[in-house]
């Protein structure tokens, strides 16, 4: 894959007449004219050593360039679009290059918080194995099947993905039926089994990184999110210990099930336009996609869709720290 990407990049550079040494030098000067630098130096170093290392980076960035700081608003965290309570959307695209289609089923569960994280992660923990057993092994919808939590830009949710040769609408309905069936399974779950799920999730959250680079990555993720919740695991496990099966069922029914008036859902269908057993392309116009189910809004233009949606608020930092840009020296 890396060789392929490198060959494409070389082809692009050789076919682009403006890619001259002079143009590259000008690009470097422009690129370094407005920068924001953050350094995380972690390990066997003192604060003074860390400051000296950071100054080395800063010194080299200032060479042969007039450097100005980025504005605080340019460093503001990205925000996620809110689907809207009770809303269900479908986005479809034809795929002309692969025989298999793909169905992604995403349920948006709101802004990240310690409590919301715990409930969403516990749902993902309970769904993961049955999802694979039912959709992949029992129903044989496809070889690639997984269910997991999704955390992005301070918002989280549950996603199920299936790559299959079956029609995407059929696959999505099987996903819905699977989620429906899990209500009874959770209700019939013994307290011992429920506790095992909680213990497994707690072990994941409290697992200590075994290498220095793993600690570094853990800290850097919090810095990148601008949440700085460095004790996140312990805070969430403290909440997890008090979660009851009844509370989880209430959360599941109000946030995950299609019968809920609060559920926020987005389905993405990548539909193969190849004929079975034929390497040629099918005529998409001869096989039009079916209309979306009742109550589901079809997304035909992403720009229009995004412009009609409000944004979730930014998760506030867990420590008293000014936003990025306020401390910039460059």
pLDDT at res. 128 = 95
CB atoms within 10 A of CB 64: 8
pLDDT at res. 328 = 52
Residue 250 predicted with pLDDT over 80:
yes
pLDDT in tens, 163-204: 999 999 999 999 999 999 999 999 999 999 999 999 999 999
48 assigned to some structural domain: yes
104 and 231 assigned to the same domain: yes
Tell me which of 210-224, 279-293, 295-309 is least confident. 279-293
Query: To the nearest whole percent, how much of the chain has pLDDT over 70?
Result: 87
Tell me which of 147-156, 238-247, 252-261, 317-326 is least confident. 317-326
Residue 60 predicted with pLDDT over 90:
no
Residue 282 predicted with pLDDT over 60:
no
Which domain does 20 fall in, by range?
5-74
Query: To the nearest whole percent, how much of the chain has pLDDT over 90?
Result: 64
Q: How far is CA 23 from CA 7, 18, 63, 275, 295, in A?
A: 22, 7, 18, 47, 53
Distance CA 250, CA 177 (A): 18
Last residue of a domain, one of 48, 74, 100: 74
103 and 45 assigned to the same domain: no
Mean pLDDT score across all residues of the chain: 87
Residue 106 makes CB contacts below 8 A (sequence gap 6+) with: 150, 157, 158, 159, 265, 266, 267, 268
197 and 232 assigned to the same domain: yes
Question: Do residues 124 and 71 lie in contact, with contact meaning Cβ atoms separated by under 8 Å?
Answer: no
37 and 103 assigned to the same domain: no
203 assigned to some structural domain: yes
194 and 132 assigned to the same domain: yes
Mean pLDDT of 275-284: 43
pLDDT at res. 317 = 92
Last residue of a domain, one of 34, 49, 74: 74
Residue 285 predicted with pLDDT over 70:
no
274 has which bridge partners? 281
Banded model confidence at residue 65, pLDDT cuts 50, 70, 90: low
pLDDT at res. 195 = 97
256 and 149 assigned to the same domain: yes
Mean pLDDT of 209-227: 91
Q: What's 107's domain CATH number?
A: 3.30.830.10
Banded model confidence at residue 13, pLDDT cuts 50, 70, 90: low
208 and 100 assigned to the same domain: yes
Count of structural domains, the chain: 2
Distance CA 88, CA 294 (A): 10
DSSP code of residue 124: H
pLDDT at res. 29 = 77
pLDDT at res. 284 = 43
227 assigned to some structural domain: yes
68 and 191 assigned to the same domain: no
pLDDT at res. 31 = 78
132 and 100 assigned to the same domain: yes
Banded model confidence at residue 9, pLDDT cuts 50, 70, 90: low
296 has which bridge partners? none
Tell me which of 45-49, 55-59, 120-124, 175-179 is least confident. 55-59
161 has which bridge partners? 104, 146
pLDDT at res. 154 = 93
Collapsing DSSP to helix, strand or coil, 169 comes out as: helix
26 and 167 assigned to the same domain: no
Greatest mean pLDDT range, 57-61, 215-219, 290-294: 215-219
């Amino acid at each position: 894959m890396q060789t392929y990407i490198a060959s494409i990049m070389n082809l692009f550079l050789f076919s682009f007449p403006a890619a001259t040494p002079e143009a590259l030098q000008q690009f470097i000067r422009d690129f370094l004219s407005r920068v924001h630098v953050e350094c995380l130096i972690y390990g066997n170093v003192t604060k003074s050593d860390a400051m000296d290392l950071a100054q080395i980076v800063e010194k080299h960035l200032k060479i042969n360039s007039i450097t100005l700081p980025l504005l605080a608003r340019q460093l503001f965290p990205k925000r996620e679009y809110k689907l809207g309570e009770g809303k269900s959307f479908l986005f479809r695209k034809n795929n002309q290059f692969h025989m298999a289609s793909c169905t992604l089923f995403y349920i948006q569960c709101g802004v990240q918080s310690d409590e919301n994280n715990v409930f969403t992660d516990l749902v993902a923990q309970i769904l993961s194995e049955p999802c694979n057993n039912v959709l992949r092994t029992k129903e044989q919808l496809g070889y690639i099947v997984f269910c997991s939590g999704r955390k992005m830009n301070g918002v989280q949710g549950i996603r199920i993905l299936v790559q299959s040769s079956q029609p995407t609408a059929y696959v999505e309905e099987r996903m819905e039926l699977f989620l429906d069936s899990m209500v009874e399974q959770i209700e019939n779950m013994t307290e011992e089994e429920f506790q095992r799920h909680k213990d497994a999730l707690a072990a994941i959250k409290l697992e200590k990184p075994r290498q220095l680079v793993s600690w570094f990555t853990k800290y850097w993720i919090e810095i990148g999110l601008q949440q700085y919740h460095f004790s996140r695991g312990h805070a969430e496990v403290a909440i997890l210990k008090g979660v009851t099966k009844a509370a989880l069922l209430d959360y599941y029914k109000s946030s995950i099930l299609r019968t809920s008036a609060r559920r926020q859902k987005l389905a993405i269908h990548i539909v193969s336009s190849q004929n079975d057993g034929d390497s040629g392309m099918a005529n998409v116009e001869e096989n039009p996609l079916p209309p979306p189910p009742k109550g589901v809004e079809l997304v035909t233009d992403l720009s229009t869709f995004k412009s009609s949606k409000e944004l979730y608020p930014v998760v506030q930092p867990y420590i008293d720290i000014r936003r990025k840009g306020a401390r910039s020296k460059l």
